[in-house]
Amino acid sequence: MNYARAIKDKPDCLKIDLDELRTFLMQKRTFLLALLENPNLLEHEYFTDLLWATFHLAEELETRPSVKDLPDSDIQHISVDIRRVYRHLAAEWVAYAEHLKSNYPFLFSHFVRMHPFQEKPSPVVKLQAETEEAPPAAF
């Protein structure tokens, strides 16, 4: 999980539709608030940090009258917020994968085949000889 927290890969914020991201986060506000109200989840410091980073990004996007034609300085500010959420989200995603691998290998198998960080996710189980690609990296 430390690997995921140290990710330096930066999402290209110029390719992100900020208006679509703002709409998505606004639609998920009730769900995110429900997560914050759950004391079991708040015991997990890193997940709480993810929620706060997400709320901050949502607030930054919501409070602007428009996210189109923002000055470069503002785009840079929002980019930092997006990268913060991305780092936290990647770390939590890896922690979840490790949890599944250790405790629920049958769920982990599907998780590895369907994760979004591969070119062609597929639920179909294939032998390594049947695939052209190397097997997914172990967590």
| Annotated domain spans of the chain | 2-103, 105-139
Neighbours of 21 (CB within 10 A): 18
Q: What is the pTM of this model?
A: 0.78
Nearest to 39 by CA among 50, 31, 30, 48: 48
pLDDT at site 10: 66
Cα diameter, the chain: 54
pLDDT at site 11: 79
* 8/4 Cα distance (integer angstroms): 9
Percent pLDDT > 90 in the chain is 57
Q: What is the pLDDT of residues 79-98, one digit of tens each?
A: 999 999 998 998 899 999 99
Residues of the chain with pLDDT under 50: none
Helical residues (DSSP H) of the chain, grouped into ranges: 2-5, 18-27, 29-37, 39-42, 45-62, 72-103, 105-114
